[in-house]
Structure 1
Amino acid sequence: MPFDKKLIQIVRKLKIALPSITGKPTNALRTDTRYRIVVHIPGRTFRSFSEPINFEFTAPTWILGRDMAIHRALGHLREEYKAELNASDLAMISCRARNEDIVRTVDDDSILSYVQDLETHVRNLEVQSRRISKVFRRLIFRELKLEDKARDDFNEHEEEVKDFLERIEELKIYVAVMEEKMDLGEVLFPSGDD
């Protein structure tokens, strides 16, 4: 996972428990399953007391949500405990190859590995957002087609309903005329009439 080394390093340094990350599908649409991600960062109960941090958000997939949760947890930890975390490893930067892949030059807990993880995460987010936008465009197009079909069906059935209402009015008039003739004593069906 991106940022896992950095998260473990910060948690060990702060002497707190690892954050817990849980996700549950929301099923907003039948074809689009999103996840509600809940993160709990326990506080410190000894030495200097600190409150636990809880936050939640919605992500398009579980993997992406988990990576985003770890990234946000790092941000919350750095903000909450900034006085205790030193910034001595902020001197290195990352580099990319000709094909735009990230070159991993150092495999330790320096800022370089953190920046490279961050760049990998950003690239994954870009790819995921492109995929989601394609799906979203397809869903919008399908929704427009379904709206047009529903409108056409409504117009078609509206004509049928008007025809039925006209026929009902004609039958009501016919029944009223027949009742009037019966009241006057006319023979409605002569003996030879089918």
Structure 2
Amino acid sequence: MAAIVDHVCYNNLPSLGEADMSRQALSVDDVINGPIRDVFLKHATHHAFCLYLQHRHHTVAANEAVVKVEGTAHLMDDQAMKDIASFGNKVVPTTWMTSGGKVLPMEFTAIPAMADHPTLSAAFVQEFLSILATNGCEGLFGVDTLAGNNWSEMKIGDASVVVPSNDIETHDQDRVVFHTWKGLQSIIGIGPTFIASIAIHLSILGPCTTTKCH
């Protein structure tokens, strides 16, 4: 089975803290609220995808990938992915990183073999990469599949576990690192303008997705 992720590019991704430090450059919010937002709207990409502050939680080998199954992301080798496929499933990309002038799949999910899944258009990818390069953001942002609900992510052992986020803050905040896009409602152009806080995901229109990492 051919490798489905460029493990060298993946392992060169920064940690969440390092990525957030890079994102805090003064000009980045203007790029998000301007040309990046515009390209998502132009290609109607915001209906299925969102902006992603690219980072990694794992180190992957040449035959491994991060694959989500029923809300839990596991580090899997190619044999495990074959086993998943043998039950009538397929492994498809859900998150893409930008590296070397390309958009590359970096994280995946298992879905039924006959199920549809959204794909990025070539026109969007070309223009998105051009905007990132022009504004010094290549390698900082990628693209993620838009979640249907607010959710939180916790790292437990070697797995990343996704749970519904119901706006109840009873967790131990000393043990949870927030990485959230804060959406500020503002009538500028079409839909709200988004200002980044400690960032990870951005929904160009509608409610922002909140994620937390243990």
Question: If the TM-score is normalised by the length of the shorter chain, which range does it land in?
Answer: under 0.3
Which structure has more relative contact order (CA 8 Å, sep 6+)? It is 2
Q: Which is richer in helix?
A: 1
- TM-score scaled by structure 2? 0.24
The structure with the largest strand share of the pair is 2
- TM-score normalised by length of structure 1: 0.26
User: Quick check: which has more Rg, 1 or 2?
Assistant: 1
